[in-house]
Amino acid sequence: MEEELLEEILASYRGDRGELVPILQEVQDNLGYLPEKSMVDIAKFIGVPESHVYSVASFYAQFRLLPLGRKRIAVCRGTACHIRGAPQILNRIEKTIGLKEGETSDDLEYTLETVACFGCCALAPCIRVNMDVVGEMTSEKVDELFPPVIEGVKNDQ
Ligand code: FES
């Protein structure tokens, strides 16, 4: 399936070196990340060493080399959310799901990120789970949304 999709994407390019970044962007937009096999195929398609594709993909922060979790949690680190307790919410989520910011769980259930303001400051502190914004976050809401994976964490205030 990934290979078919890559073929479809590459069919709309000529195979020039200069197309590397747009190709990587399109692959990531469709797959959510850049699989190693896709980078090898892209290198062949544009006629550059695999190491070149890898170095470009790892240079730009926009590219992900690993898949995202099914639940992508983004904690707002904007000023309004920060003042109203976002650091504590982030800490609580980290403890509850056993991940640090920027990490994805081995079972691909969760990815935890922080982002700048979502534009929902009146509801601060906010998080987003996939496309859904959850405002006025509290520790209790964290526990409701994310069943803890570590015994005893729920009562560890
Ligand atoms: S500061 Fe968090 S939504 Fe604006």
pLDDT value at residue 155: 40
Q: Tell whether 78 and 55 lie within a shared domain.
A: no
Give the end of a domain, one of 59, 92, 107. Answer: 59
Which atom belonging to ligand 1 lies closest to the Cα atom of 117?
4
Query: Is-contact 95 84, C-beta < 8 A?
Result: no
Q: Tell whether 51 and 103 lie within a shared domain.
A: no
132: tokens are 């859904």
Q: What is the pLDDT along the chain (157 residues), one digit of tens a residue?
A: 788 999 999 999 999 999 999 999 999 999 889 999 999 999 999 999 999 999 999 999 899 998 999 999 999 999 999 999 999 999 999 999 999 998 999 999 999 999 999 899 999 999 999 999 999 999 999 999 987 655 544 444 3
Which atom belonging to ligand 1 lies closest to the Cα atom of 124?
2
Residue 66 in any domain: the answer is no
pLDDT value at residue 147: 77
CA distance 30 to 6: 9
Q: Which residues line ligand 1 (CB under 6 A)?
A: 76, 78-81, 117-118, 120-121, 124, 126
